[in-house]
Amino acid sequence: MSDSNSTALTSDDLYYLATLCGYFAGNADQRWWNVPTGKVLFAVGQYFNETAVPNPEDVIKLTGWSEEVYQYLDAQVVLNASAPYYASLLPLSPHPLQSHWIYIVFGVFTVISTIVLALRLWSRLSIAGRLQAFDWVTVVAYVAIVAWSALTLDEQRVVGPNAFQCDQTYNEIIGYERDWDILMFTYPIVIFIIKLSLLLFYHQLSSWFPLRCSVYITGFLCFGNAMAAIFTWVFQCNYPNLWDHQADMNLDCKLDQVPIVVAMGAISIATDIIIWLSPMPLVWQLQLNTRERVLAIGTFGIGLVACVGSMMRLIAVKKYLAFGQDASGDDSRQPINCWAIVEMNLALICACVPALRALILKHFPTIISRGSDGTDISKGSKGSSNYKGHGKPSIVSEEDGQTTAELSDFHHRQHGRQSEHEKTSGSVQVWSPTN
């Protein structure tokens, strides 16, 4: 919703216009903090237009600036020239409004994630009879995702309906920046918790040395990347609480956050791909028939879908993180938050897929448990995994020392039948996602 004359303004015009609105209002008396920041710029510009011999004391009295602030602003922009000029641009500026997509994205994905997590916990408790460490970490990840997403809604609330800084009050700008900064330095923590749940799952899945090495190395990279992202954001400027210093003349930010956030986002995507591909060599080398092998690879590989959300968020970061990217006047970072919610929930949903497959195997075994030739894969050695020690890929439960399996035929277990292969080996079961 923009004024038809706003096309006369360039992105540079809008950038400097919004900057002056923020600085003029942020350094003014707090009585100006509850009106649109553009009104301070308009009042100063009007004063210089109507006064033949401007007096600094009059401007200070009008705005509530300190003498130091007046001298600083005058030295930076030459107030008697720039204030009237940019004040004249205010009627030409667009007035974009905040969209409400964030509420829809939050609602849809929270409902889906809640249902999927509930099914996962039901699967674990009804089939395995217990929850393990990686299940509890997944629950923590779910709570963190909901809390983080709820903060994006609060950010939408406190900033009000307007997306252009000159239409916002300075109190709205402070609240917006506070929530935004909290979101940015807690985002790596939430992502790390999600990845930790998967890494713990893989660690429990097998004692195969290559998989364990992948878990340790990837876990170290994820933790290091998360810590680097947190510290570079919190300490990018000389004030950690940036929201209280938006118009501070002493604010000094030495780090350009756009390339830093993009670089660390790229590393995060790389670790996503490594995590989702880590079990593939293990699955590929197990003695499974072709159908079961494809289903097993698909069960773990579906997690690559979550990388789409990560990539889209990274694209949004590059476009919307820096202020004044185009001539729309829209300074909303909502697309970044929307894609982050999508990314987090997709990762959580994909992490629950193995347990959901086990639930299907238990209640609808004929859907997955039949091989392409129509035979029951739980009744022959083709569908089992042979455990021959730590040098070979196998599915191992550290609690009882037996080979267990993710993705097993629970129809076979449900009816209490054991194959001849299982009777003789004792420690070998079909691959199952819940042990």
Mean pLDDT for 133-155 is: 96
pLDDT band at 207 (very low <50, low <70, confident <90, very high): confident
**Ranges 45-54, 118-127, 271-280, 395-404: which has the least confidence:** 395-404
Residue type, 29: D
Task: Give φ, ψ of 230 to 5 degrees.
Answer: -65, -50
Per-residue pLDDT band for 178 (boundaries 50, 70, 90) equals: very high
- HEC letters along the chain: CCCHHHHHCCHHHHHHHHHHHHHHHHCCCHHHCCCECHHHHHHHHHHHHHCCCCCHHHHHHHHCCCHHHHHHHHHHHCHHHHHHHHHHHHHHCCCCECCCHHHHHHHHHHHHHHHHHHHHHHHHHHHHCCCCHHHHHHHHHHHHHHHHHHHHHHHHHHHCCECCHHHCEHHHHHHHHHHHHHHHHHHHHHHHHHHHHHHHHHHHHCCCHHHHHHHHHHHHHHHHHHHHHHHHHHCCECCCCHHHHCCCCCCCECCCHHHHHHHHHHHHHHHHHHHHHCCHHHHHHCCCCHHHHHHHHHHHHHHHHHHHHHHHHHHHHHHHCCCCCCCCCCCCCHHHHHHHHHHHHHHHHHHHHHHHHHHHHHHCHHHHCECCCCCEHHHCHHHECCCCCCCCCCCECCCCCCECCCCCCHHHHHCCCCCHHHHHHCCCCECCCCC
Give the tens place of pLDDT for each residue, 335-382: 999 999 999 999 999 888 888 877 877 777 765 554 444 334 333 333
Q: Percent of the chain, pLDDT > 70?
A: 79
Q: What is the pLDDT of residue 289?
A: 72
- Note the pLDDT of residue 413: 37
The pLDDT assigned to 373 comes to: 41
Phi, psi of 370 (to 5 degrees): -95, 135
What's the confidence (pLDDT) of residue 327? 65
pLDDT of residue 325: 55
The pLDDT value recorded for residue 188 is: 96
Span 172-195, mean pLDDT?
A: 95
Is the pLDDT at 174 greater than 70? The verdict is yes
Q: Which two tokens stand for residue 390?
A: 């730590």
What pLDDT is attached to residue 225?
96
pTM of the predicted model as reported, rounded to 2 decimal places: 0.82
**More confident site: 188 or 375:** 188
pLDDT of residue 427: 35
260 touches 275 (CB < 8 A): no
* pLDDT above 90: percentage of residues in the chain: 56
Q: What is the pLDDT of residue 212?
A: 92
pLDDT over threshold 60, residue 385: no
Question: Which pLDDT score, from 0 to 100, does residue 12 have?
Answer: 86
Q: Hey, what domains does the chain have and what are their CATH numbers?
A: 4-92 (no CATH), 101-365 (1.20.1070)
Residue type, 384: S
Q: What are phi and psi of 48, to 5 degrees?
A: -70, -30
Which residue do the tokens 């569908």 mark? 383
Q: Note the pLDDT tens digit of each residue in 49-85.
A: 999 899 999 999 999 999 999 999 999 999 999 999 9
- Retrieve residue 73's tokens: 């602003």
> Tens digit of pLDDT for each residue in 243-254?
999 899 888 988
Q: Residues 225-283: pLDDT tens digits?
A: 999 999 999 999 999 999 999 899 888 988 888 899 999 999 999 999 998 888 888 87
Alpha carbons 291 and 378: distance in angstroms, whole number:
13
* Mean pLDDT, residues 7-19 taken together: 85
Tens-place pLDDT, residues 101-112 = 999 999 999 999
What's the confidence (pLDDT) of residue 263? 93
Quote the pLDDT of residue 393.
Answer: 53
Q: Which pLDDT does position 323 carry in this prediction?
A: 66
Q: What is the mean pLDDT of the chain?
A: 81
